A and B are shown apart, each in its own frame.
Chain A
Amino acid sequence: MLDYKYQDRDTVIHRLTPWSKLGWIASLVLLAVIFDHPVYLFLLFLSTIPVIAAARLTREWASLMKYCLFLCLAVVLINAIISQNGSHELVKAPFSIPLMGNLRITLEGIVCGVGNSLRLAAIISAFSVLILAIHPDDLMQGLIKMKLPYKSLLVASVSARFLPALLEDSRNIVAVQRSRGLEFSSGSKVQRTRNYMAIFIPLLSNSLERASQLAEVLESRGFGSKRRTFYKELKLTGSEIVVLISALLPGIFGIIIYSQGFGSYDYYPALEGIGFMGMEAICLIFLLFLATLVVFTALVKRRTEID
């Protein structure tokens, strides 16, 4: 589980500023939220794959998606049970349940669950770029320069940085307490919870000691004085602006075609057909192209930097 952190690779995607990556993620997540059509959602999911591949993160992404698959199965299951408005009945329970009446599992309920899972998969896939391909320090600096609340971002980035250290601490404390004869795998539930506190309390005072050191460090570096400086300054160069625009284009184009009535879909009471005619098919292909455009512009940007 703990492998989902920043992976340092030297790829075109990693070399982009955090703003371009954030812009692309924001576009895709926005589209995944506004569109209802399962085909649109599936294509959005597919369009994240070239970016992941360009960042050479397919292995981490695949393991994240395996976890996502379980989530999706749960979503389909929940939706099939909850939604009772479909017209094509597959199974009907012979008994009645309070609040729900006779349970019916309908084709529409299942397909709607699949649609929602596709949306979830697209969002998780887009967010995996945020977790895996943006350095936490770059992310923080990028967000600070977007005038977002700075102390809160500092808290988040410090926490994310200290978490591995704290887990290491907890492993040490477990080893120490084991060597003092404390059992963690036997005994009653209450006893085990009590023993658990023998890890928790030292861990707490350890981390509060760290907090006092951190406060001293912050104070000695002039935390809270007027202008904040950075060790590695991020700048939005001309070619970077082009990449940023190409990352925002799918979002803008998506909103335009959404306002034209494309991408909506009604699952209930009966499934709509999903044939695409002329204009919509062209728009959809163009959207797919725009969503992956950031890979090409990133490649071009890298090229111009080499020259």
Chain B
Amino acid sequence: MTRKAYASFALLIVGVIALAIFSIVYPSGSSQLNWQFAAAALTALLILAFFFQFESPSFGSKHVAIIALLATLSSALRIPFAPLPNFQPCTFLIICSGYVFGPVPGFMIGAMTAVVSNFFLGQGPWTVYQMLAWGIIGCASSFLSSLNPGRGPLAVFGILCGFLFGFLMNIYVWLYFSHPLTLRTLLVVETASFWFDLSHASANAIFLYLFGPRLVTILERYRKRFGWVRSSGMSSRPAS
């Protein structure tokens, strides 16, 4: 990891621990705290850690080009396809690209999807949380490459990702739009969005089951053609 990535990650952990101690020691003070702001700052730190990691010299022009174009494609997929609410193929593309290209590129593609598509759909405080949610999905998908799963497990992974995305976005809705921030209101928000999350999860599952292996093969072929070595993802050694 690069030094700046370490620094922002360390700052994130210190922030989380400090907030936890503060709210346990002063329960009355914690209800006065601006949690929207605190949560956004911590989320931004996590995203920055990945961005600084991406700054390492092991990522060169071809990595930038592929990540940029895949992020463009997945933001384009977010816009027009809507027979059902939340039925988007963009998570499917993010999962497959994380699978093929590794953790940091996966995160970048996911996070950039949120930024770029929101330039056209409207930026707001939700952008940070969408960046985090899709970024984490892209990053997590990179672990699939060591498992080499078939259609069925891929579809199950898609369902998990759909609900993970819903869970993280519900935290944003909860923080901003429900007033007493208690466990009960969180549960209400989480259950209220169940059908939307299910739609997202089933879209992921269907796309991954039907076309997952095919898309992975195509991306894998391009990865080899670009001479992109996957293991260079986490080391800070310059690629030859």
Instruction: Please report A residues at the B interface, Cβ cutoff 8 Å.
Output: 1-2, 4-5, 29, 33-34, 64, 67-68, 75, 78-79, 81-83, 85, 99-100, 112-113, 116, 119-120, 123-124, 127, 130-131, 149-152, 154-156, 158-160, 162-163, 166-167, 170, 189, 192-194, 196-197, 200-201, 203-205, 207-208, 210-212, 214-215, 218-219, 223-224, 267-268
Residues of A within 8 A of B79 (CB): 1-2, 167
Given A152-B108, A196-B81, A211-B69, are A82 and B115 also a contact pair (CB < 8 Å)?
A: no
Name the residue in B52, B68, B180 with the highest tally of chain A Cβ atoms < 10 Å from its Cβ.
B68
B124:A152 contact, CB within 8 angstroms: no
Q: Mark B92-128, 1 if CB is under 8 A from A, else 0.
A: 0000000000000000100010011001111111000
Q: Which of chain B's residues has its CB closest to A163's CB? A: B72
Interface of A is mostly: helix
The answer on a CB contact under 8 Å between A207 and B73 is yes
Q: Would you give 26 A-B contacts (Cβ < 8 Å), ordered by A?
A: A1-B121, A78-B192, A82-B185, A82-B188, A83-B179, A112-B179, A120-B124, A127-B122, A159-B72, A162-B68, A162-B69, A163-B72, A163-B75, A189-B83, A197-B211, A203-B73, A203-B76, A204-B215, A207-B70, A208-B69, A211-B62, A212-B65, A214-B69, A215-B62, A215-B66, A223-B61
* CB pair A156 B116 closer than 8 Å: yes
CB distance from A177 to the nearest CB of B (A): 15
A123-B125, A211-B66, A224-B60 provided; 15 other pairs, C-beta below 8 A? A34-B34, A82-B192, A113-B177, A149-B51, A149-B52, A156-B71, A159-B71, A162-B69, A163-B72, A196-B89, A200-B211, A211-B69, A212-B65, A218-B65, A223-B60
Residues of B that sit less than 8 Å from A by CB: 34, 36-37, 40, 48, 51-52, 54-55, 57, 59-62, 64-73, 75-77, 79-81, 83, 89, 108, 112, 115-116, 119-125, 173, 176-180, 184-185, 187-189, 191-192, 206-207, 210-211, 214-215, 218, 222, 225-226
